[in-house]
């Protein structure tokens, strides 16, 4: 079994043990057990427990680990944990974290706690926290941290090594040292392998890399994610408009962003307006689903009126009622496949003004190919059921036309949402299903009215 599967099974086994200890009310053993588990695994367990059990486990976690665990849990679960903590507990939990980590959970903290934290920090860290809080959550500034090692270019490697020995440990994911001048202008990086493998008398300027992938705080976080994937980066500098080093982005920050974005896209495709705690109250969960359900109801009424307009045809030939869901279903599936591809391509920055028309052309061809294939199959199915060649031709034609509608809609809807500044994943599936249902019924019943009566 691969290591990742073994680890997942270990976590699942730990979760079962936690539940068993909870139910047996063996709290001393449970506390000891929890204190041996990695904060990320504790976070996973909290997310998998109903609210009452979650809060019981949360009360048993060592206070000095609260901050680490709050960082790891999802936003919706963090909200429930923070709601159970008093002001002193929240201050203590946040006090365990670095400045950039405090910025990650600050939006979920009460305002008075954030104010207290700002007042407790020294001038440099206060400025850093205020700066981090000012950035959009989808920007590089929201991802960056301030824990990094800087050096000058006019010193030898021996001096650098002596300087590093003063640290108890290096910041996580340090694969290179950042080279700056006396005014903190970014000059380049010194990879650690060059530091270790070259003559200690060599100057940093001789070995440093000057052409480096860097970002500005306002850059989209998605841009950083793409660069880390493309160039296999471990860390990268963040500079301001004057090229001064203000922070760094590391691969773990980027991985967290990608994971959150992936989860958000999945929810958005289903029409959920925000991340939802699996064990949230029915009221809160229901409210989260209202927006797109209301739109879905509206579009369903439109589809029903389309069917109602052809009520006479359906009464004359009941077979139409049994076959028309097939036309809509095939198109819905085809359209959702296209939407998934387009949303992914938009996220990767692969779609631009120069290739949009070519993309439409390609999807029309795919829709025509699939429509011809599956329209033939659908028409044959209709003929075998009802023995009518005319009905079979109507069925096949409707499937071809509606798959073309689905292909065009699957490209147009997410691109249009992106153009209007919306998340292309948000509700694309709901909008597409509404369109393919309405058009499918209209096309099928319209053709049937023209050619069968």
Calpha distance 323→379 (Å, rounded): 10
> Could you report the per-residue pLDDT of 327-355, keeping only the tens digit for each?
999 998 889 899 988 988 887 778 888 88
pLDDT interval class at 428 (50, 70, 90): confident
Chain position carrying tokens 């959702």: 336
What is the reported pLDDT for 273?
56
Distance separating the N- and C-terminal Cα atoms of the chain: 63
Q: 331 forms bridges with which residues in the sheet?
A: none
Please give the residue that has the higher pLDDT: either 145 or 287. Answer: 145
Examine the pLDDT at 358 and tell me if it is beyond 60. Answer: yes
Which pairing describes strands 176-180 and 186-191: parallel, antiparallel, or unpaired? antiparallel
Instruction: State the maximum Cα–Cα separation within the chain, in Å, rounded to a whole number.
Output: 94
> Could you report the per-residue pLDDT of 271-314, keeping only the tens digit for each?
565 566 777 777 777 777 777 667 767 777 787 888 888 888 88
Calpha distance 430→297 (Å, rounded): 11
Cβ–Cβ < 8 Å for 415, 371: no
What is the reported pLDDT for 1?
39
Average pLDDT for 245-267: 85
Examine the pLDDT at 221 and tell me if it is beyond 60. Answer: yes
Q: Under the phi-then-psi rule, with left for phi > 0, alpha for psi from -120 to 50, and beta for the rest, what region is 415?
A: alpha
| CA separation, residue 172 to residues 80, 141, 148, 250 (Å) | 29, 18, 9, 9
3-state secondary structure of 73: coil
**Backbone CA torsion sign across 406, 407, 412, 417:** positive
Average pLDDT for 191-213: 96
**Nearest Cα to 187, choosing from 167, 161, 206?**
206
Chain position carrying tokens 């992914």: 344
Calpha distance 337→366 (Å, rounded): 11
Cβ–Cβ < 8 Å for 183, 208: no
Q: 150 forms bridges with which residues in the sheet?
A: 178
Calpha distance 58→41 (Å, rounded): 13
> Could you report the per-residue pLDDT of 224-244, keeping only the tens digit for each?
999 999 999 999 999 999 999
% of the chain at pLDDT higher than 90: 59
Please give the structure tokens belonging to residue 258: 């990608």
Q: List alpha helices for 49-86, DSSP H.
A: 51-60, 66-72, 75-83
Examine the pLDDT at 2 and tell me if it is beyond 50. Answer: no
pLDDT interval class at 147 (50, 70, 90): very high
Q: 239 forms bridges with which residues in the sheet?
A: 245
Q: 190 forms bridges with which residues in the sheet?
A: 177
What is the reported pLDDT for 298?
78
Average pLDDT for 82-87: 92
Cβ–Cβ < 8 Å for 392, 379: yes
> Could you report the per-residue pLDDT of 92-103, keeping only the tens digit for each?
999 889 898 899
Q: List alpha helices for 221-355, DSSP H.
A: 221-231, 251-269, 282-288, 290-309, 311-316, 319-347
For the chain, the C-alpha Rg in angstroms (whole number) is 29
Examine the pLDDT at 268 and tell me if it is beyond 70. Answer: no
């Amino acid at each position: 079994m691969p290591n990742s599967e073994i680890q997942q099974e270990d976590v699942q086994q730990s979760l079962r043990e936690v539940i068993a200890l909870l139910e047996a009310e063996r709290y001393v053993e449970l506390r000891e057990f929890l204190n041996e588990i990695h904060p990320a695994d504790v976070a996973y367990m909290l997310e998998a427990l109903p609210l009452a059990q979650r809060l019981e486990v949360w009360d048993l976690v060592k206070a000095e680990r609260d901050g680490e665990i709050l960082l790891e849990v999802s936003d919706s679960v963090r909200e429930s944990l923070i709601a159970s903590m008093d002001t002193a507990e929240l201050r203590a939990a946040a006090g365990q974290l670095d400045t950039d980590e405090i910025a990650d959970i600050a939006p979920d903290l009460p305002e008075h706690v954030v104010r207290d934290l700002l007042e407790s920090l020294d001038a440099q860290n206060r400025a850093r926290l205020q700066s981090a809080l000012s950035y959009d959550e989808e920007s590089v500034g929201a991802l960056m941290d301030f824990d990094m090692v800087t050096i000058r270019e006019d010193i030898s490697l021996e001096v650098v090594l002596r300087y590093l020995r003063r640290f108890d440990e290096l910041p996580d994911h340090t694969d290179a040292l950042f080279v700056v001048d006396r005014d903190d202008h970014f000059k380049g990086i010194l990879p650690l392998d060059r530091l270790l493998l070259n003559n200690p008398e060599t100057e940093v300027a001789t070995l440093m890399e000057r052409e480096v992938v860097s970002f500005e705080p306002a850059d989209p976080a998605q841009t950083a994610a793409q660069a880390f994937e493309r160039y296999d980066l471990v860390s990268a500098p963040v500079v301001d408009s004057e090229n001064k080093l203000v922070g760094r982005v590391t691969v773990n920050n980027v991985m967290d962003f990608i994971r959150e974005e992936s989860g958000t896209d999945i929810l958005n495709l289903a029409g959920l307006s925000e991340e939802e705690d699996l064990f949230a109250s029915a009221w809160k969960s229901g409210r989260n689903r209202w927006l797109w359900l209301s739109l879905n109801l509206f579009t369903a009424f439109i589809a029903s009126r389309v069917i109602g307009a052809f009520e006479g045809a359906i009464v004359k030939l009941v077979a139409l009622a049994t076959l028309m869901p097939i036309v809509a279903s095939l198109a819905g599936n085809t359209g959702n496949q296209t939407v998934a591809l387009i949303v992914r391509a938009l996220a990767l920055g692969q779609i631009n003004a120069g290739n949009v028309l070519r993309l439409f052309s390609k999807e029309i061809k795919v829709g025509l190919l699939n429509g011809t294939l599956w329209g033939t199959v659908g028409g044959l199915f209709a003929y075998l059921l009802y023995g009518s060649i005319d009905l079979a031709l109507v069925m096949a034609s409707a499937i071809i036309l509606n798959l073309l509608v689905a292909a065009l809609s699957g490209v147009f809807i997410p691109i249009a949402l992106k153009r209007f500044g919306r998340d292309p994943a948000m509700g694309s599936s709901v909008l597409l299903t509404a369109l393919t249902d309405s058009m499918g019924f209209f096309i099928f019943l319209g053709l049937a009215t023209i050619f069968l009566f």
